[in-house]
Amino acid sequence: MEKADKKNIVDKVWDFFASVRLAIIIFAVLSITSIAGTIIEQNAEPERNIKLLTKFFGPDIAPTAFRIFDSLGFMDMYHSWWFITILLLFAANLIICSIERLPKILKLVKEPVKPLSEEHFKGFGIKKEMVLRGKPDKVKASVESAVKKILGLNPSEIKEEKGVQLYSQKGSFTRLGVYITHFSILIILIGAIIGIFFGFKGFLNLPEGEVSNVAFTRNGHERPLGFSIRCDDFSVDFYGNSDMPKEYSSVLTVIDNGQEVMRKRIEVNEPLKYKGITFYQSSYGIVPGSGERSVFIFRITPAGGKTEEVRLRFGETFSIPNTELTGKIEDFSPAIAFDQTTGRPFTYAEQMSNPAVYISFSEKGRPKYSGWILKRHPGTWRLPEGHIVEFVDLWGIQYTGLQVRKDPGVWVVYLGCIMMAIGLYIAFFMSHRRLWIRLIEEKNGTRVIIGATANKNRQAYERKIERMMDYLTKAQEGGH
């Protein structure tokens, strides 16, 4: 008690951080908060998390719960001061716990294996005996060969009064596997903190044909990219006749110092990466008030003729090649459907779910016929004369929703993960194995007394020793 009372404040702080109990508490807190951070969508629109919280607290309490969680930093948890503080406490606890126990482990690692007295052989966890024919000097060669072949050890020897003692060890460094794992955790934490302080997560709704040199955070703050990004095209495919998107993609061009340096089509799992910034395909939608700048794209194939592509704005006309038939764009719907009773068209969504264009056709200036041409329904492309007018796209009306992420610490995290895999392999699948063998001369031969230790996988080591003994027995029986 007196010794404990003499501890100064530094010793008390050191003991506090060296506590295994503290490690358990911190790890539990990290786990619980991480679960909360996984359930609550980070950096999302408030409406999405309010909808989520409604499932847990009901519609009346959900808005209040959102404000409380938001004020506590749970909507951007991994950038909050308290989460970073927990990470730093965890790092300090891990470092001090490792330092506290490292000297003892280093002593075991550096300690050379030495011959043991007869008394020490009585206390081994792994202890075997057998008798071989011949004098110790003759048996020794066979035993050394078996030890090298079966156990992978290169034993040393020392003469004893009644024979010889062989001793060896392997894998003393494996006791450091847990420290490699600890160090890898610290590397991963450093990478995460680098990402928190020097990276960002944002979004960018980029209309077709538009250019931006910034992204936006959840709070609407601009984050300069250091270059510009342009959306050249956006497209979406659906499952059959349903409105469920099968895949959607964007063609993006990177412009740096006024030069187009990169162009790539990105999909949900195929992002674009440039100068440490990654653009992920995330969402899409229609740009309000974009009708004036949008362009209709058609493929026109006259009966028996060659296909031509035309680009038109709303209200403009086009001609069917080698005919006097002309068409004029009269109307457009991003998601057309027809009333089953009256047959009248109506728009059922504000997305390009089932886009259609209404075209009136005339010949020699006289109206001839008109109708809706649906992009997803080839049956509406063919005209009565056999001409085909394919509605390819309405370019410029959609935007691509991009998640923008910069994480300069990601390679540090990858390095930490590799180190962790190495450390875990050493810690779980390798062990520090020591072996002592006494060869004692008897009347009818040599008694072989084996003592061994293994800090892990003891049963596997014991089976190897039994294999070695079988090998020696069979070798003698075979006269080798």
Distance of CA 470 to the CA centre of its chain: 48
Do 366 and 303 share a domain, yes or no?
Answer: yes
Residue 179 lies in a domain: no
Do 279 and 300 share a domain, yes or no?
Answer: no
Do 404 and 461 share a domain, yes or no?
Answer: no
Angle at 171 between CA 170 and CA 176, to 5 degrees: 155
**Looking at residue 235, what is its pLDDT?**
92
The residues, ordered by sequence, that sit 6+ positions from 408 with a Cβ below 8 Å of its Cβ are 194, 195, 198, 199, 276
Distance of CA 78 to the CA centre of its chain: 16
- pTM as predicted: 0.70
Q: How many CB atoms lie within 10 A of CB 202?
A: 22
Q: Which domain holds residue 441?
A: 118-171+431-477
Are the CB atoms for 97 and 20 separated by under 8 Å?
yes
Do 22 and 85 share a domain, yes or no?
Answer: yes
Do 392 and 336 share a domain, yes or no?
Answer: yes
To which residue do tokens 């406490």 refer? 89
The total number of structural domains that make up the chain: 4
Do 238 and 219 share a domain, yes or no?
Answer: yes
Do 92 and 8 share a domain, yes or no?
Answer: yes
Do 306 and 271 share a domain, yes or no?
Answer: no
Do 284 and 407 share a domain, yes or no?
Answer: yes
Residue 441 lies in a domain: yes
- The tokens of 454 are what? 């293994």
Total residue count of the chain as it appears in this document: 480
Reduced to 3 states (helix: H, G, I; strand: E, B; else coil), residue 154 is: coil
CA contacts within 13 A on the Cβ side of 162 = 13
Residue 279 lies in a domain: yes
Residue 113 lies in a domain: no
Residue 248 lies in a domain: yes
Residue 220 lies in a domain: yes
Residue 176 lies in a domain: no
Query: What CATH code is carried by the domain that includes residue 447?
Result: 3.30.160.110
Parallel, antiparallel, or unpaired: how do β-strands 295-301 and 308-312 relate? antiparallel
Per-residue pLDDT of the chain (480 residues; tens, 9 = 90+): 444 456 788 878 888 888 888 888 988 988 888 888 888 877 777 888 888 888 888 888 888 988 888 888 888 888 888 988 998 998 999 899 889 889 999 998 999 999 998 888 888 889 999 999 989 988 999 999 999 999 999 999 999 988 999 999 999 999 999 999 999 999 999 998 898 888 888 899 999 999 999 999 877 789 999 999 999 999 998 888 888 888 999 999 999 999 999 999 999 889 999 999 999 999 999 998 776 789 999 999 999 899 999 999 999 999 999 999 999 999 999 999 999 999 999 999 888 999 999 999 999 889 999 999 999 999 999 999 999 999 999 999 999 999 999 999 999 999 999 999 999 999 999 999 999 999 999 888 999 999 999 998 899 999 999 999 999 999 887 755
Rg of the chain over all Cα atoms, to the nearest angstrom: 38
**Looking at residue 404, what is its pLDDT?**
94
Residue 281 zone, left/alpha/beta (φ > 0; ψ -120 to 50; rest): beta
Do 8 and 103 share a domain, yes or no?
Answer: yes
The residues, ordered by sequence, that sit 6+ positions from 313 with a Cβ below 8 Å of its Cβ are 292, 294, 295, 296, 329
Q: Give whole-number Cα distances, 458 to 7, 144, 426, in Å.
A: 40, 21, 15
